[in-house]
Amino acid sequence: MDNSKFYTSTAWRKLRARKLANDPLCTHCQKKGIITLGSDIDHVLSIAKRPDLKLDYDNLQTLCKSCHSIKTSSENKRPTEVNKLNDWLKTLLK
């Protein structure tokens, strides 16, 4: 899904700036006791899953580039790949 029009909209840019100003530190790093300046504003529930929350302030979190990349990568994995990996791990643990 191409959201380029959304991410260049005035509404998104204003909301993103407000979130970054209010919460400048990476949420995931903070949970690990690490203080890292955030650079990306991430949708907790992706736009693909919940398009109705794309401009909901409470559905946003500040992340550093590294954490955002990890989160996005894990969201983009196809369920079949994850299921195959889980099945393989189960056979190893038997």
Each residue's pLDDT tens digit, 30-78: 999 999 999 999 999 999 899 999 999 999 999 999 999 999 888 877 6
Q: Domain of residue 40: give its range.
A: 4-93
Please give the DSSP secondary-structure letter assigned to residue 90.
Answer: H
Q: Based on C-alpha coordinates, what's the Rg of the chain?
A: 16
Within the chain, what is the greatest distance between any pair of CA atoms? Answer: 54
State the total domains in the chain: 1
Q: How confident is the model at residue 12 (pLDDT cuts 50, 70, 90)?
A: very high
Please give the DSSP secondary-structure letter assigned to residue 57.
Answer: G
pTM: 0.77
Q: How far is CA 23 from CA 4, 13, 16, 58, in A?
A: 24, 15, 10, 12
